[in-house]
Amino acid sequence: APLRRAIAPLAPADRRLVITAQTAQTAQGFGGNPVEVRETDHYAHEYIPSFVEKWDSLIDWEKRAESEGNFFIDLLRKRGVRSVLDVATGTGYHSVQLLQAGFETVSADGSANMLSMAFENGRQHGGHILRVVQADWRWLNRDVHGEYDAIVCLGNSFTHLFDERDRRKALAEFYAMLKHDGILVLDQRNYDAILDDGYSSKHTYYYCGEDVAVAPEYVDDGLCRMRYRFPDESVYHLNMYPLRKDYTRRLMREVGFQRVDTYGDFQHTYRDDQPDFFVHVAEKE
Ligand code: SAM
């Protein structure tokens, strides 16, 4: 199985970029009352190998490229960015796009299962050797070194943090790892629409085609539990904190970012209830 494959030997200078452990868990482990699971640390138990392997059928790379276009690459180029830290690498989609576009890229994630898949994907999509590092955002500076022109945290990842303290800590770690004129690019689902507009907005999202049905199974102010149903009828869940758009923007400003611009489904102008996703671009100075 791809996840069991060893990470290729790293150059001596990169020896610190080593994945420490694989999670051999076979079930997601939400216990008897899944809607009570509201812990930041739980993400590592949610991205189990069988789900990670399916993630790329959920996020089909070609279809994703069609829907995102060059939005992120153009945005980074326009700002003269050269070095990027991808803090939510997942299976590596953005890290590979960034490498292909010529950015110096380091790929971090807290999940060893995800990084392992990302490394394999890098090799298969263009023969890239990803510089991977397993790191939790809350202690990013401990495990990742250097300063970057940009940090990207994409694919609705920040939503995994359940405590405000953890969100502030993670944002402060991102801030500290940026150069003085660096930017943070962070996206999130439009939870305001899900929370405010009642059941009608809780539609099933068909990720990049019809293969995977994604729907909120339970929603309250402190939890959005999403269900992912795959064509083989297997079902997985993710428990996420429903971030309101303005709340995320406020937190970014409170940790020190001077300016936050928010796009709705990659457009600068939008009606708040319409986009499925928001992208925040936060400037350090
Ligand atoms: N960016 C990828 C994409 O768009 O396909 C992956 C998105 S996936 C929804 C969220 C990722 O964030 C997972 O790979 C997970 O391991 C990572 N993650 C969640 N909480 C984290 C934390 N506290 N520290 C580091 N990584 C975390």
pLDDT tens, the chain, 285 aa long: 333 333 333 333 343 343 444 444 567 878 888 898 998 888 878 887 778 787 776 667 887 888 888 999 999 999 999 999 999 999 999 999 999 999 999 999 999 988 999 999 999 999 999 999 999 999 999 999 999 999 999 999 999 999 999 999 999 999 999 999 999 999 999 999 889 876 455 555 555 556 778 888 889 999 999 888 888 888 889 999 999 999 999 999 999 999 999 999 888 998 877 888 899 999 999
- At 199, the amino acid letter reads Y
Among the atoms of ligand 1, which is closest to the Cα of residue 40? Answer: 23
For residue 89, how far is its CA from the centre of ligand 1 (angstroms)?
A: 6
Structure ipTM over 0.95, yes or no: yes
Q: What tokens appear for 51 in the block?
A: 């789900």
Mutate which of 41, 43, 63, 158 to test ligand 1's pocket (most atoms within 8 Å of Cβ)?
43
113 CB under 6 A from ligand 1? no
Determine the distance separating the centroid of ligand 1 and the alpha carbon of 105, expressed in angstroms.
Answer: 16
Question: Residue 159: which of 274, 272, 245, 257 has the closest Cα?
Answer: 245
Q: pTM for the full model?
A: 0.87
Q: Which residues contact 113 (CB under 8 A, 6 or more apart)?
A: 3, 22, 23, 47, 48, 49, 52
Tell how far the Cα of 20 is from the centroid of ligand 1, in angstroms.
Answer: 17
